[in-house]
Structure 1
Amino acid sequence: MSNCITYTCEDHLITSQAKAEKAFLADFEQGGYTLENPLVVENPYLINPLCALVMFKTSEEVSVTVTVHGKRIQREDLSHTFAPAKEHKLPILGLYEDFSNKVEIKLSNGSSTTLTIKTAKLPARVSRCRHISTSIDYLKNNFMFLSTAGKNSPAAYDYKGNIRWMLTVNTMFDLKRAENGNLLTGSPRFCHMPYNATGLIEIDMLGKIYKEYRLPGSYHHDQWEMEDGNLLILTQDMHSDTVEDQCVLVDRNTGEILKTWDFKDVLPQDVAGSGSQDAHDWFHNNAVWYDKNTNALVLSGRHQDAIISIDYDSGKLNWILGDPEGWPQEMVDKYFFTPVGDVENFDWQYEQHACLVTPTGDIMCFDNGQFRAKSKENYLKNSENFSRGVRYRIDTDKMEIEQVWQYGKERGPEFFSPYICNVEYYEDGHYMVHSGGIGYENGLPADSLGSFLDKNDPNVELRSVTIEEKNGVVLYEMETEGNFYRAEKLPLYHDGENVSFGPGQLLGKLDVTPTFDTDPEVEEVNELPDSWHNIIIEEDEDRFVFHGKFERGTLAMLCLEGDEGKHNYFINTAAVRHLAMCSGAFLEDDDRDVKFNVSKEGLKGRYTLKLIINEKKYHLGISIFAG
């Protein structure tokens, strides 16, 4: 038998980026860089290979226009003008991969230079565009950003389907542009299975992380920026028996949790479940939207086939949008809507995602349609089902609902996504529908979610289809490889500040990882576990992640022993069945592989690591430091 433990200790990405930034800024200050001889830093923040930072000084204050020339025609040029200055630090965005990009730098005084920036081929895990149908007149300077639902990379595609932006770290779930021009999305750092990240990050288009908002209950699915800058973030209480059923308001500057909404206070947990519901994941909140007109949180609960509205201040339930079958009659009478209008063509939504509120108060969502019924005897097979974007008009005085638009039902099973996806409202009659969870086995819609399908099986295909429709005409359609969580149409540049310098911040805090009180009486041996267990310890500044392989039912416990005491952590090796998997980024190919996050919160000093496997306690030969 061979024995080997793999240990790595890395800086948080914020720290690595701060070190890189400090180095290139020092170079800039000492170098005497001019327009004719600028400092060009490719991929300055380490995670976006399709960008650069160009820096130089001028004797007079001038504005600068940067143009990344298109591959084909002048109309493909991507230009942005920066405010007048003497010191110029210019983000260059939208470079083509594996290409000698021509980048023109033109000053307002007429001077100019053209640089060549050669990029490499992107990693194999990027998902390529298979087909796109649109025009440069329609898309203009916008790109379609797709946030990943698997181990592929977040990416943005131009009107020809070229990838012009990507991240080499797998940021999680939704990607939204904040008022300051930066992006809000999930941290790539693992926290809890199946897909919970340590928190929310604010990141710019170069890939620089300005803040990570760590949460005790971790981050999942969605977030919303309030007018005052504070953030609504979806989370949960990891010490309870349920998940994905809380929302918190987080202070934008400090990371402090200001307010918490717990949906168990609003809804019963044992009625009207969708086909994917269990007691643990009873609600599965996958979207939050703040409706200013009604001062309410509008929330999508996949596992109750319901969109709900709760009062922002009191947390009390306003209404429930969904099929009333299976709900208590007193709740149906008080909170549910009655269909009106063209009721023959009316459909309720099932296991929906990405609810939103239009300016007139209509409710839109992506109706995944999974099972498309409340009763098992009426469930539809995926191969006979459909998904769609839908818009409902609601009257909360009369408690009536009318379906006023849909797209997707007419496309049948080929547009069907049993999980993830989103819609966007641009103006009346102009919408996006992103069916990002399409999966096929042997040419038919798969019975399993895309995250669970074998990507190496030649009979398996994963696809995403994103369309934009205006007044009934499809003006944009893109099909890509792989599954993508959501789509957002955005320009690369923002009118405000494009890059700010200085180290990013780790805000908020992680939870204290629960310990196991029992100290098993086992034989302690001064040796390493067999290498079959593939023990890996990944440490960073505020936590470490334990990886190992165990046969099902193995007794496994991680033990930290130090001057400040002992901490035992139970490792669950039982088979776990996930009914939802909105991101497969943390899934292992072998279901015997487990990972376990241990926060340094509550730890102090140096600890040696030991591992109990059945009847023996092994020394891992590794120590970690906290505090």
Structure 2
Amino acid sequence: MYRLLQRLLPIVVLCGCQGEGDSSVKLEASAATVEEELAKTNRSVKTNSLRMATPNPTSSNKTKSKKTTQADPSSAAPASGSLEFLRPLTWTQNPNRAVPNAGWLNFSLPHQSAEKPVPGKVHIEISYSQGKSTLRKRLSDFKSPSLVAGEQAYSIPLLDLKPEIQYTVTISLVRDGGQAELQSEPLQIETEPLPDLFPEFDVRLSMPQRMEAGLTLFNLIRWKKNKPDTEFGAIVALDANGRVRWFYQAQHMIFIVRQLSNGNLLYGYGNRTEGLIEIDLFGNVVRQWNSANLGREVPSHATPVAVDSLHHDAVMLDDETFLALSTTLNQVKPYFDPTYHSRRRIPEANLVTDVVVEFRTDGTVLRSYSLFELLDPRRIGYGSLHNFWDSRGYENVPGGTFDWSHSNSVTHDPRDDSILVSVRHQDAVIKIDRKSGELVWILGNPRKWKGKHSRKLLKPIGRPSWQYHQHAVEITPQGTLLLFDNGNYQAVPFDKILHAKENRSRVVEFKVDEQDMTVEQVWEYDGYERGGFYSTFLCDVDWLPQTGNVLVTNGGEIRDENGERTDYAPGEQQWAEIFEVTYEQTPQRVFDLLIKSSAEQTGFGWSVYRSERISNFFDHVKTAPSISTKP
């Protein structure tokens, strides 16, 4: 028996797709464990709309084999020289309804001793109308605990399953030379449709040969009667043709989404302020961190962090340390009147000011950097006197609060161990020395910066267009700064503002010379050839490493009751765009996705905070973690 298995290499999973005759299907998988499925024998698994059944209900469940027939599952391993599937191929739907279109293929082989393991690899081969693809992994990667003596169980996870499609799946054992030794009866797996209240994904342009390869990953924010739906959040992965390849749905808002080095996803949840959740691609909660100050309730399974909030952005410095945005409350006497009148003052103001915090995964806060101390709290921008935080943790502050800084992105630069922060309501990007905590420079309109802060301003080369209310600062491979310039107002108080109807957003790149303390604008894209674009809030931009293209998330397009652009979110209509442009003097779009409500979704709108292009989205799939909670 062992000699026969030594000559065998892999398992091949053949998946045919019905219902999309012109589309290619790529299913990828890796190890997963579903112990309860191993006790099941000759029966199909059927759960809700995602189901498995043998194509011919009158046929037996015997496994095809020229040499053997199906063994009694309760019997010991067959005699040496025979090989067969001891259990028929079955399908287990993912029990976590947050990711319904996922599951495991389960089968078992005769058990081999530890001294004589089954050699070879698993080949997962996917066939479709235009060809086939193969994923190779070691057979041992798919082992599951066996419940019956004399057999070894295996489970192969499948995640890349598009909605509302019928797949036909078979698995085969093949020899080193590629000859099939065993082949199972085919199974049919029918996936569920997208949820009813999902947006339309309208791909208006797609040029895959010029695009960065991979899936586009992004969050969804749903507006319901012009208010954010705080009981809905979703993460979606789309291919170049706008087809959903994976989605996750939760009962809370989702903003920032990042894929971690282990393949899991990290996202911020709540109304941009409550905490961070790590999930695997089956939707299981692996770890969770919640801000514990201000009387916030921390779930029993979450790790408390002694900060007022965790908002807008977070990155991992290493596997054990976060760099994130938080807040604190400070009082200033006297202060500007919330009407932005140049001469009016109020006796005192409660400023919610941002703090950059480092904390370990066990919740220990290591250090913090207060923007109230680094910058001038008496300098304001348009937006600094808004009450954003009055409904996000600071509800009980007498007299209410002002959203003085409203930082929205934080980035670590490993070249000199520094921190970059986008300070939206100051229309500034600042750099902080991580070790000393000192302010290095300020990038932005020099108006109203005074004293020691004016000496930190980067001096312009030429006549750059300054950014206003920007988002998502990142460092390119060239060492330049790339950001999404929302462009709100194009002014600082108390200068005359530019209204949304005449305004525009753009993507802009700056080159900083720290030795000379200068800044130069080297590239921009504003969509002029298409009439421009303008998002008053949200948005993202990413440098794509393989092509050098730029991925743009124009995530906050809003219109008033007259269909005109407005600066007052949420407006009466909301939609989002994600597009990819070439990095050229005259950029060209090579991908253009519109995310909008369908004609039947009256009263609903959609926004996107950020997006990423990920080339290996499914490559790190592992077994379900021991910690799992309802999202």
Alignment of 1:264-413 (within 5 A): 264-275=372-383, 277-278=385-386, 280-332=402-454, 334-341=455-462, 343=463, 346-408=464-526, 410=528
**Whole-angstrom distance in 1 between the partners of 2:309 and 2:170:** 43
Q: Select 1:219's aligned residue among 310, 317, 334.
A: 310
Distance 1:43 1:244, change over 3 A: farther
Is the counterpart of residue 420 in structure 1 residue 538 in structure 2? Answer: yes
**Whole-angstrom distance in 2 between the partners of 1:107 and 1:223:** 45
Q: Select 2:281's aligned residue among 205, 211, 216.
A: 205
Distance 1:398 1:462, change over 3 A: same
Is the counterpart of residue 130 in structure 1 residue 235 in structure 2? Answer: no
1:28 Cα shift?
A: 2.6
1:112 Cα shift?
A: 5.3
Is the counterpart of residue 49 in structure 1 residue 100 in structure 2? Answer: yes
1:437-476 CA distance string (max 9 Å, x none): 11233674432455x234xxxxx35232322324333222
Partner SS state of residue 445, structure 2: coil
1:436 Cα shift?
A: 0.9
Distance 1:92 1:23, change over 3 A: closer
1:501-557 CA distance string (max 9 Å, x none): 342289xxxxxxxxxxxxxxxxxxxxxxxxxxxxxxxxx99xxxxxxxxxxxxxxxx
**Whole-angstrom distance in 2 between the partners of 1:201 and 1:443:** 39
Is the counterpart of residue 157 in structure 1 residue 241 in structure 2? Answer: no
**Whole-angstrom distance in 2 between the partners of 1:470 and 1:34:** 53
Cross-structure match for 2:627:
504
Question: Does structure 2 conserve the Cα–Cα contact (< 8 Å) formed by 1:99 and 1:118?
Answer: yes
1:42-99 CA distance string (max 9 Å, x none): 23332112322223334434432335656x633xx67543333161333312211122
Cross-structure match for 1:100:
166
Question: Does structure 1 conserve the Cα–Cα contact (< 8 Å) formed by 2:483 and 2:509?
Answer: yes
Distance 1:335 1:62, change over 3 A: same
Distance 1:259 1:106, change over 3 A: farther
Alignment of 1:62-73 (within 5 A): 62-67=120-125, 73=130
Cross-structure match for 2:371:
263
**Whole-angstrom distance in 1 between the partners of 2:254 and 2:371:** 23
Is the counterpart of residue 84 in structure 1 residue 139 in structure 2? Answer: yes
Cross-structure match for 1:485:
609
1:138 Cα shift?
A: 4.5
Partner SS state of residue 323, structure 2: strand
**Whole-angstrom distance in 2 between the partners of 1:465 and 1:436:** 7
Cross-structure match for 1:522:
none
**Whole-angstrom distance in 2 between the partners of 1:234 and 1:35:** 54
Cross-structure match for 1:26:
36
Is the counterpart of residue 433 in structure 1 residue 510 in structure 2? Answer: no
1:209 Cα shift?
A: 1.6
Which residues of structure 1 form unaligned runs of 5+?
1-21, 455-459, 507-539, 542-627
Q: Select 2:273's aligned residue among 179, 196, 211.
A: 196
Distance 1:245 1:55, change over 3 A: farther
Distance 1:411 1:273, change over 3 A: farther
1:488 Cα shift?
A: 0.7
1:412 Cα shift?
A: 7.5
**Whole-angstrom distance in 1 between the partners of 2:330 and 2:171:** 55
Distance 1:142 1:376, change over 3 A: same
1:24 Cα shift?
A: 4.4
**Whole-angstrom distance in 2 between the partners of 1:66 and 1:102:** 14
Residue identity (%):
25
Distance 1:400 1:97, change over 3 A: same
Structure of larger gyration radius:
2
Distance 1:263 1:69, change over 3 A: farther
**Whole-angstrom distance in 2 between the partners of 1:203 and 1:239:** 35
Cross-structure match for 2:76:
none
RMSD after superposition: 3.2
- Report the TM-score, using the length of structure 2 for normalisation: 0.67
Moved more, 462-471 or 364-373: 462-471
**Whole-angstrom distance in 2 between the partners of 1:106 and 1:247:** 54
Cross-structure match for 1:624:
none
1:322-363 CA distance string (max 9 Å, x none): 11111115422x21112214x2xx211100000111233211
Partner SS state of residue 492, structure 2: coil
1:78-137 CA distance string (max 9 Å, x none): 754333316133331221112213455455644555542212221122222123322444
Q: Select 2:220's aligned residue among 126, 148, 158.
A: 148
1:166 Cα shift?
A: 1.2
Question: Does structure 2 conserve the Cα–Cα contact (< 8 Å) formed by 1:275 and 1:371?
Answer: no
1:194-217 CA distance string (max 9 Å, x none): 5422x2111122212211122222
Distance 1:308 1:84, change over 3 A: same
1:223-269 CA distance string (max 9 Å, x none): 111135421122224798544612222223x2322222222121122
Q: Select 1:174's aligned residue among 236, 256, 265.
A: 256
Question: Does structure 1 conserve the Cα–Cα contact (< 8 Å) formed by 2:504 and 2:533?
Answer: yes
Question: Does structure 1 conserve the Cα–Cα contact (< 8 Å) formed by 2:282 and 2:624?
Answer: no
Question: Does structure 2 conserve the Cα–Cα contact (< 8 Å) formed by 1:132 and 1:159?
Answer: no
**Whole-angstrom distance in 1 between the partners of 2:552 and 2:440:** 27
Alignment of 1:236-255 (within 5 A): 236-237=327-328, 241-243=350-352, 245-252=354-361, 254-255=362-363
Question: Does structure 1 conserve the Cα–Cα contact (< 8 Å) formed by 2:383 and 2:403?
Answer: no
**Whole-angstrom distance in 2 between the partners of 1:439 and 1:413:** 16
Question: Does structure 1 conserve the Cα–Cα contact (< 8 Å) formed by 2:313 and 2:409?
Answer: yes
Distance 1:67 1:305, change over 3 A: farther
Question: Does structure 2 conserve the Cα–Cα contact (< 8 Å) formed by 1:35 and 1:56?
Answer: yes
Moved more, 292-301 or 425-434: 425-434
State the AA in 1 paired with 2:581. E
**Whole-angstrom distance in 1 between the partners of 2:244 and 2:479:** 36
Distance 1:98 1:23, change over 3 A: same
Alignment of 1:424-463 (within 5 A): 424-427=542-545, 429-441=548-560, 444-450=563-569, 452-454=570-572, 460-463=573-576
Cross-structure match for 2:582:
469
Distance 1:29 1:56, change over 3 A: same
**Whole-angstrom distance in 2 between the partners of 1:409 and 1:246:** 34
Question: Does structure 2 conserve the Cα–Cα contact (< 8 Å) formed by 1:61 and 1:84?
Answer: yes
**Whole-angstrom distance in 2 between the partners of 1:168 and 1:79:** 29
Question: Does structure 1 conserve the Cα–Cα contact (< 8 Å) formed by 2:429 and 2:442?
Answer: yes
**Whole-angstrom distance in 1 between the partners of 2:416 and 2:609:** 28
Partner SS state of residue 27, structure 1: helix
Distance 1:256 1:112, change over 3 A: farther
**Whole-angstrom distance in 1 between the partners of 2:477 and 2:553:** 21
**Whole-angstrom distance in 1 between the partners of 2:209 and 2:428:** 38
State the AA in 2 paired with 1:128. E
1:367-421 CA distance string (max 9 Å, x none): 0001111145431111111111111000111111111111115257651111111
